[in-house]
Chains A and B, each alone.
Chain A
């Protein structure tokens, strides 16, 4: 189909010409999704670790809930965030609707359960190896959690990448709370949606290709970081 050839040409042209609008949109996409990932990890990793090592009544229910929250539809999160952040909503006084911060909040809600659920599984497996040692040394729980997260850091990077993938790829939440405002809250996915609705399918697809390349670059960087760090750690 000629649309594919055309969009490859458009994508190439956009990247080579370092189109200012495109760079702005890419920058915002990365800023929003990476910020959401950092916040989601701050919430999700300790939560995942707690669920991994602590035994308490209702733990099974908590696990099921966290696991199913991985499937939260972005558009529902966007709607809930909109209703909360709207002027008519309970958090309207924060004046956050239609700002990048609102988009970060929405994506954090999407990503945190992924980080929590995947890290819980990972850390629980790791904990099985360490549990006896922790017990014999009377390691306090907080220290144990920190040790588990630190020792599992390379595997947890993959968890973070899964979360990042979810954030950078979603459109349903950010288009509602961000409003897809030009030069303010327009990110890659909402720009793709907009160009599709204008009928400019080659440009929309070209933006999609650029987004794919960004995801590739981020993953490659993390992979390189991990390989290098592991080499030093075990050298």
Chain B
């Protein structure tokens, strides 16, 4: 009885899935575990059709925080990892989960906030100093709090400032535990400072009155890397197709396409792969 129900359910599900081609049934598609900033800024919408035209390979992007993306890739649930947290990426490779890591492109982080600027950080070019002022003024600060690349960067800046903001968690330090866009929505809703990558900020549609207050600090550099998930660890990885995607991104046409992508006339990502 039990087994016949199982068979019935399985056949229903498989039948249902047959209506659209499953993601993994053909070799001409790969899954890329990536970050919300690349997705929300529309970069993939621009790059992937170009890649498909060149190679015929369909790329399915799962856009989550860097921490979750790395974790999913560790579980072999992706063929390529494209994120922005260099040391975590290097760990991923040195632990054998990735084949090799390549610098792909960069942009920078900025601190945005209300024009009233209660902590007086506007016009500054030093992120650590700005965070010190925010903490000193106990001005509201909205943190990702989700172990994403942006969150890791923010924590590194706090560490440098010698301040432990989590001691004030729930008071002036608000950890949203959600994505960049959701954190911006929350920050704007409660007039809190937010550290965000510039690509997400430029393409973000709900800026309200918020403006960029701190930018142009070397410490705010934001490097993206790309890694093929290791087929030795994960035999199911579409290594050939995944490698083609990595090679294409690092090649002259791929790098040119990244540099050509504009949003509102502004360049969001700056290609910087080493010539191969």
The residues of A with any CB-CB pair to B shorter than 8 Å are: 28, 31, 35, 38-39, 42-43, 86-89, 92, 95-101, 104-105, 179-182, 184-185, 194, 196-201
How far does the Cβ of B69 sit from chain A's closest Cβ, in whole Å?
11
With A31-B19, A39-B12 in contact, is A98–B60 under 8 Å at CB?
Answer: yes
Q: Is B147 an interface residue (CB 8 A)?
A: no
Give the docked Cα–Cα distance between A142 and B240 (Å).
54
Structural contact, B13 and A39, CB atoms closer than 8 A: yes
Chain B 196-216 residues near chain A, CB threshold 8 A: 203-207
Q: Is B274 an interface residue (CB 8 A)?
A: no
A95, A97, A100, A182: the one contacting B20 at CB < 8 Å is A100
B31, B76, B204: the one contacting A198 at CB < 8 Å is B204
- Beta-carbon nearest neighbor of A24 in chain B: B20
Q: Is B81 an interface residue (CB 8 A)?
A: no
- Beta-carbon nearest neighbor of B235 in chain A: A87
Structural contact, B23 and A88, CB atoms closer than 8 A: no
Structural contact, B16 and A95, CB atoms closer than 8 A: no
Chain B 160-184 residues near chain A, CB threshold 8 A: 179-182, 184
- Besides A95-B236, A99-B24, 7 other CB < 8 A contacts? A43-B9, A96-B17, A100-B17, A181-B62, A196-B181, A197-B181, A198-B181
Structural contact, B60 and A181, CB atoms closer than 8 A: yes
How far does the Cβ of B97 sit from chain A's closest Cβ, in whole Å?
11
With A95-B22, A197-B181 in contact, is A179–B60 under 8 Å at CB?
Answer: yes
- Beta-carbon nearest neighbor of A99 in chain B: B22
Structural contact, B9 and A39, CB atoms closer than 8 A: yes
Give the docked Cα–Cα distance between A100 and B18 (Å).
10
Give the docked Cα–Cα distance between A179 and B62 (Å).
5
Number of chain B residues close to chain A: CB under 8 A: 40
- Beta-carbon nearest neighbor of A199 in chain B: B206
Give the docked Cα–Cα distance between A209 and B17 (Å).
28
Q: Is B126 an interface residue (CB 8 A)?
A: no
Structural contact, B60 and A199, CB atoms closer than 8 A: no
Give the docked Cα–Cα distance between A95 and B26 (Å).
12
Give the docked Cα–Cα distance between A87 and B238 (Å).
13
Q: Is B190 an interface residue (CB 8 A)?
A: no
Instruction: Point out the residues of chain A lying under 8 angstroms from B143, CB to CB.
Output: none
Structural contact, A199 and B207, CB atoms closer than 8 A: yes
How far does the Cβ of B179 sit from chain A's closest Cβ, in whole Å?
5
A87, A101, A179: the one contacting B22 at CB < 8 Å is A101
Instruction: Point out the residues of chain A lying under 8 angstroms from B24, CB to CB.
Output: 95, 98-99
A88, A101, A196: the one contacting B16 at CB < 8 Å is A101
| Residue interface mask B44-77, A partner, CB < 8 A = 1 | 0100000000000000111100000000101111
Structural contact, A197 and B22, CB atoms closer than 8 A: no
- Beta-carbon nearest neighbor of B12 in chain A: A39
Structural contact, A201 and B234, CB atoms closer than 8 A: no
Chain B 64-109 residues near chain A, CB threshold 8 A: 72, 74-77
Give the docked Cα–Cα distance between A43 and B6 (Å).
10
Closest CB pairs A-B (n = 7) = A197-B181, A199-B206, A87-B76, A179-B62, A101-B17, A88-B75, A199-B205
Instruction: Point out the residues of chain B lying under 8 angstroms from A105, CB to CB.
Output: 13
- Beta-carbon nearest neighbor of A201 in chain B: B206
Structural contact, A198 and B40, CB atoms closer than 8 A: yes
27 A–B contacts from the bound complex (CB under 8 Å): A28-B20, A35-B12, A35-B13, A42-B5, A42-B8, A43-B5, A88-B75, A88-B77, A92-B76, A95-B236, A98-B77, A101-B14, A101-B17, A105-B13, A180-B62, A180-B63, A184-B20, A184-B23, A185-B23, A196-B185, A197-B36, A197-B179, A197-B182, A198-B181, A199-B181, A199-B205, A201-B185
Give the docked Cα–Cα distance between A92 and B75 (Å).
10
Structural contact, A104 and B13, CB atoms closer than 8 A: yes
Instruction: Point out the residues of chain A lying under 8 angstroms from B185, CB to CB.
Output: 196-197, 199, 201
Give the docked Cα–Cα distance between A194 and B77 (Å).
21
With A87-B234, A98-B77 in contact, is A184–B36 under 8 Å at CB?
Answer: no
